Amino acid sequence: MSYDQMLNLGNGNQTLHLPDPEVTPKAKRRAFSAEYKLRILDEAHACRTPAERGALLRREGLYGSHLTHWRRELHAGAMAGLKPKKRGPKTNPLVLENANLRRELAQLQTQLERAETIIEVHRIRRIRKNISHLMSLPLPSATTESNGSRP
C-alpha cells in the first residue's frame, strides 16, 4: 500500500491526516537578570513617546506587561524583587524543622555522652578515695595512674 493510498482510505471522502513528523523544539522560559531589567526600565523611562517605547519593546522582544511587572517588583522590594524567583516546588517547612531538630538532637546526645563520661570519672575517683581512706593507703599519684603501674 502506498502513501497516497493510505491517505485515501475508506469510501474516498475521508482522508487520513497524519501528524507532522517534524519535531518542534520545546519552548524555553526566558529568564532576565536584575541588571537587564533595570537597564530596560531605565531606557523605557527615558522614552518620550509611546512609539519610542514600542520600538524599544520590539527591539528587545518584550511585552508592555514585562515593564509593568518589573516596575511593581522594583517598588515592592527594590533589587530583591528583580532577582529571578526560584522555580519548582516549595520546600516543606516540616522537613526543615525536622532537619534542625535532628541536628540539635545529635548535639545534645554528644553533650550528654561527655557529661556521663565526666560523671563516671568523678565517681571512680571518689570510690578510690573512699577505699584508700578506709584502708589507710596512700593515693596513687597522677603519674603512676597514667603509666598504669600500681603501688
The C-alpha cell 517534524 sits at: 22
Angle between helices 64-77 and 34-46 (to 10 degrees): 110
What pLDDT is attached to residue 8? 54
What pLDDT is attached to residue 87? 78
What pLDDT is attached to residue 103? 97
Collect the ranges in the chain with pLDDT lower than 70.
1-17, 78-84, 137-151
What pLDDT is attached to residue 33? 85
Q: How many CA atoms lie within 13 A of 15 on its CB side?
A: 6
Tell me the Ramachandran region of residue 148: left when phi exceeds 0, alpha when psi lies from -120 to 50, beta otherwise: left
Percentage of the chain lying above the pLDDT 70 cut: 74
d(CA 54, CA 76): 25
- Integer CA distances (angstroms), 126 to 22, 56, 116, 139, in order: 87, 86, 15, 11
> CA 109, 112, 117 angle in degrees (round to 5)?
130
Q: Which long-range contacts (CB under 8 A, 24 or more apart) does 59-66 make?
A: 66/32, 66/40
What pLDDT is attached to residue 14? 62
Which amino acid appears at position 60 of this protein? E
